[in-house]
Structure 1
Amino acid sequence: MALGGLASDPAASRGRLHCEDDRGPRGPRDAFQRDRDRIIHSASFRRLRHKTQVFVAPDGDHYRVRLTHSLEVAQIGRAMARALGLNEDLTEALCLAHDLGHPPFGHAGEDALEEKLAAVGGFDHNAHSIRLLSLLECPYPGFDGLNLSWEMLEGLAKHNGPVIIPHWALAEADAAFPLDLQNWPSLEAQVAAIADDIAYDNHDIDDGLRAGILDLDALLELPLARRHWDTLEARHPGLDMDRKRAALVRDMIGTMVGDVLAETRRRVTEAGVETAADVREAGRQLAGFSAEMRDEERALKRHLYANLYDSAPLKPVRVEAHRIIANLADHLIANPADLPEGWQRGEGEEARLRGIIDYIAGMTDPFAIARHEEWIGKTDLEDRF
C-alpha cells in the first residue's frame, strides 16, 4: 500500500521566511529539491567529512564520519519514502541535514559545550542545525541562512516528535518562522528519524566489529543478530568472515526497513489519516518500528552503548575530546579578542557567549585540535590527524 495521499507536496509548501529574487537561473527544481541542493552545497555539509561519528580521526579509511553517515541515512530514508509513496526529495534533504549542527568530536563535544555555556542556555545539536540553516550559513545576497522551506525546517525541528520546551536556538527560529512545534511533523520527517536509527545501529556494528572492539560472539547473543547470522550460514555455508559480517549488517538493515514499512502502513490505516495535514494532527507517531522490533532495536542499542560507545578503547579518546572543547570554550570566554571577526553576536555577555558557541560548534575535529595547540597546548589526539 502506497501512502501517496499523505506525501508533502512542494507546490503546497507553506513557503520560505524570506521572499527571493528568482530572476537568476534556477533550473527545473521544486521547493524541496532546492532545499536538498542548498544543503549539499553548504559549507556545513562539507565540514561533516571531518567530524566524528564514533571513531575520532579513524585510522582506517573505512570507518564512518558524519558525512558518510548522513549519506547512508539519506539512502535508507529515500528508499523508504519511495516504497511508501512519500516525497523522496524532502526525505532525502532532511536525512542529509539532520547532523549539521553537531560540534567537533560528536557527543563528547556537545556535552562540553552544554556544560561550559549552560549560563546562556547551553547547546543542543538539533537546535543548532536549525540555527545554522536559518541564520549562520550566509551564501545568498538578500538574507541570512539558507531560507529553506517551512516543511524542511519543521521536519528538522521535530523529527523526533513534538517539542514542548524548545532550546533557546530553536525558540528563536520558531519566533521568526513559527513551526507548530506542538504537533507531529510530516511523514517524511518521521521516516528520516527512523532511517537515522537504522543507519547508525547497523553501521556502528560494522565499524565496531572492524575495529575489533565489538565481540561477534557477544553480539550474537542478541536474538535479532543471531537469527540473521544463522540464516546467513544456512544460505551461504563456508562464507568468509568479512563477507558474512557485511551480509549481516545488510540483512539487518533490510529487515528493519521492511518492519518500518509494514508498521507505518498499519498505523496509518488504524489512525484513519487521509492527508498530510492529518498526519500533523494525528497526535501520535505514524512511522516507526513494530512493538517487537522496537524491543529488539532497543536491546541492540543497549549492547552498543555498553560494548562500543562506552568501551575501554574509546573512553579515553572521548575524555580527551571533551577536554579539548571545554578548554577552547574557557579560553575564548577569558580571551574574547581571540574570537575571529564576524563571530560576535551583538552587545552583552549572552550575545558574546553565544558567538563562542557558534564558532566552536562549526569547527571540524582537526581545526579544533589546531586551535587548541595554538592557544592552549598539545593534545593527545594530534597524532591521529
Structure 2
Amino acid sequence: MVCGDLPAERDYMNIRKQKEREELNRLSEYAFKVIDTKGRKRSIIPCEIRTDFERDRDRIIHSKSFRRLKHKTQVFISPETDHNRTRLTHTLEVSQISRSIARALKVNEDLTEAIALGHDLGHTPFGHSGEQVLNEICPFEFRHNIQSVRVVERIENDGRGLNLTHEVIDGIKNHCHGFKPSTLEGEIVFFSDKIAYINHDIDDAVRFGVLKEKDIPGIFTEVLGNTNSQRINTMIMDIIKNSLHKDKIKMSDEIYKATMGLRKFLFENVYHSKMAIEEGNKGKAIVKRLYDYYTKHPEKMPTDFYKRVESDGLSRSVCDYVACMSDIFAINTYKELFIPSTIWGM
C-alpha cells in the first residue's frame, strides 16, 4: 500500500495551505499574511505542515547562536545565582509578551514570535559592554541588531545562514531605537523588548541589591504599578487598547511617558551604576584583548571563521568570532591564552 494514496495522508499534505487560508479569515486587516511574504534570498521547497514564518521560528530555535544566548549577559555579568536573567531568558520573555499582544490584536503571531526569538542573536559577550568596546575598536560601526542580521544571513549554518524570510529579518534589524519595522509584528517586538528589559532589569537589580523597590520614583509607580507584574500588565494592556483595529502599534501618551521615564531611571541607576560599570569594564578588557589576539593570529580561529578572512576581511571576521562568544567561552578562552597554568610538582 502506498501511503500517499491514503485520504488521511492527502489531508496531511494540505496542512500548511489550510493554515495560510485560515490566516486570511482570522487575522486583522492590518496583520501581515504569510502568503504576502517577499520570500527568502534562496528558494526552498515549501514545508508540508509549517508556514514560512513557523519555519523561520524553528530555524532560529535550533540554531547554535540561539543556544549560546543562555550564557550571555543581560545586565549582570556571570553572577553566582540561578535566578538572574540571561540573554536567553530575556528573549523568551520578549517572545511571550509579543505573542500576547499579537494574539489580542489578531496580527500574525508566528511572524511576531520569529522576530522576537531572533532579535538578540547578534549580542556580544558581556552585554552592551561588549557591544560598546567592539564599536570602539572595530574599523566599522558595530550594533547588535545589525550583527543579529549578519548572524542569520552570514554566520549561522557554516556561513550559509538561516535563509529567513524578508519580514523576519526586517523585524530583527529594526527592533532598536532609531529603526522602523515595516510590519505591525515588528513594531510589537520593538515595544515588547522595552517592556521586558525595563521590568526584568529592575527585578534583577533589586535582587542584587543595586536597587530597592522604594527607590523607584512614585511618579512612575503611580502610573504603571508597584510590582513587576503590575507594570508589565499595565504596559501590555495599554498597547492593546491603543492599537486595536489600527495600522500602528502605540502606547497612550501617559503610559509611554512613564515607561520612558522608568527606562531613563534604569540607565542612571542600574546600567550606569558603579557596580555595572566596574564589571562592564572587566568584560570590555577581555573582549578587546581577544580581538587584538585574533587579529594578530587569525589562524587560531575556528576554520569557518578563518576561511572568511579573505572574502570578508580580517577585522570583520575577527569581530564576528569574538561577538559570537558567550561570556563563559570568552572568559575561558582568555584564561587559556593569557593566564599561566598552575604547574604542579615544581
The normalised TM-score by structure 1 is 0.77
SS, match of residue 314 in structure 1: helix
Question: What is the identity percentage for the equivalent residue pairs of Structure 1 and Structure 2?
Answer: 39
Quickly say closer, same or farther: Cα 1:374–1:223, change in 2 above 3 A.
same
Residue 68 (structure 2) pairs with residue 68 (structure 1): no
Counterpart in the other structure of 1:281: none
Distance 2:178 2:269 in 1: 31
Please say if residues 159 and 185 of structure 1, whose CA atoms lie closer than 8 Å, have aligned partners that are also in contact.
no
Distance 2:261 2:110 in 1: 32
Alpha-carbon offset, residue 265 of structure 1: 3.3
Distance 1:43 1:216 in 2: 37
Point out where structure 2 has 5 or more consecutive residues left out of the alignment: 1-25, 341-346
Distance 2:85 2:259 in 1: 20
Counterpart in the other structure of 1:358: 320
1:97-150 CA-to-partner distances (Å, cap 9, x unmatched) read 111000100110011111111x2x1321111111111111117xxx81111111
Please say if residues 162 and 184 of structure 1, whose CA atoms lie closer than 8 Å, have aligned partners that are also in contact.
no
1:340-375 CA-to-partner distances (Å, cap 9, x unmatched) read 322132438x61111101100110001101111122
SS, match of residue 138 in structure 1: coil
Please say if residues 123 and 357 of structure 1, whose CA atoms lie closer than 8 Å, have aligned partners that are also in contact.
no
| Correspondent of 1:131 among 150, 153, 161 | 150
Quickly say closer, same or farther: Cα 1:85–1:21, change in 2 above 3 A.
closer
Alpha-carbon offset, residue 21 of structure 1: 4.3
Counterpart in the other structure of 2:56: 35
SS, match of residue 44 in structure 1: helix
1:240-268 CA-to-partner distances (Å, cap 9, x unmatched) read xxxxxxxx1111101001111122238x3
Residue 115 (structure 2) pairs with residue 94 (structure 1): yes
Residue 306 (structure 2) pairs with residue 327 (structure 1): no
Distance 2:137 2:297 in 1: 15
Query: 1:311 corresponds to which letter in structure 2?
Result: S
Counterpart in the other structure of 1:369: 331
Please say if residues 114 and 124 of structure 1, whose CA atoms lie closer than 8 Å, have aligned partners that are also in contact.
yes
The normalised TM-score by structure 2 is 0.85
Query: 2:172 corresponds to which letter in structure 1?
Result: L
Distance 1:226 1:186 in 2: 33
Query: 2:265 corresponds to which letter in structure 1?
Result: H
- Please tell me the root mean square deviation across aligned C-alpha atoms, in Å: 2.1
Point out where structure 1 has 5 or more consecutive residues left out of the alignment: 164-182, 231-247, 274-285, 379-385
Alpha-carbon offset, residue 226 of structure 1: 3.8
Q: How does 1:157-176 map to 2 (within 5 A)?
A: 157-160=173-176
Residue 38 (structure 2) pairs with residue 14 (structure 1): yes
| Correspondent of 1:312 among 274, 292, 315 | 274
Alpha-carbon offset, residue 27 of structure 1: 4.7
Q: Aligned pair count?
A: 314
Please say if residues 48 and 66 of structure 1, whose CA atoms lie closer than 8 Å, have aligned partners that are also in contact.
yes
Please say if residues 213 and 308 of structure 1, whose CA atoms lie closer than 8 Å, have aligned partners that are also in contact.
yes
